[in-house]
């Protein structure tokens, strides 16, 4: 029989993969082969650790929770086109220097572009 920590880790991975749409707590129980009682306790523990949050929802006429990750899976795709990676001034750039991320127009434009997507 799997240990609780193993089930918690497996549940957290599934919840994180669900992303912004979340996953119904009842669906999670089925995926990790847990009883509704075990699944409920796991989701409460994950919430108390600050790893997920739960929102009540009616599904198929019954109350359940939709579980959402507080942290999202990070991918290198999010920074691949960052101008800093290929900037010719990169070696001279520093927080207190003449060239700084604080006043870099290329970086500002990139952040604003990312913010709009």
Range 9-29 average pLDDT: 93
> What is the predicted pLDDT for the residue at 10?
93
Residue with more model confidence, 18 or 74? 18
> What is the predicted pLDDT for the residue at 115?
60
Cβ burial of 55 (10 Å; 0-12, 13-18, 19+) is exposed
How far is residue 78's CA from residue 62's CA, in Å, rounded to a whole number? 38
4-69 fold: Arc Repressor Mutant, subunit A (1.10.10)
Q: Which of 1-10, 32-41, 55-64, 91-100 has the lowest mean pLDDT?
A: 1-10
Percent of the chain with pLDDT over 90: 48
Q: Where are the domains of the chain?
A: 4-69, 76-116
User: pLDDT tens, 84-93?
Assistant: 888 888 888 8
């Amino acid at each position: 029989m799997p240990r609780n920590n193993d089930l918690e880790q497996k549940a957290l991975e599934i919840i994180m993969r669900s992303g912004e749409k979340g996953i119904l707590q009842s669906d999670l129980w089925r995926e990790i082969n847990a009883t509704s009682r075990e699944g409920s306790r796991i989701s409460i523990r994950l919430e108390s650790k600050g790893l997920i949050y739960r929102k009540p929802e009616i599904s198929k006429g019954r109350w359940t929770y939709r579980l959402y990750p507080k942290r999202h899976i990070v991918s290198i795709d999010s920074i691949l086109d960052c101008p800093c990676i290929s900037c010719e001034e990169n070696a001279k750039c520093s927080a207190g220097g003449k060239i700084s991320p604080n006043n870099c127009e290329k970086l500002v434009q990139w952040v604003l572009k990312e913010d709009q997507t």
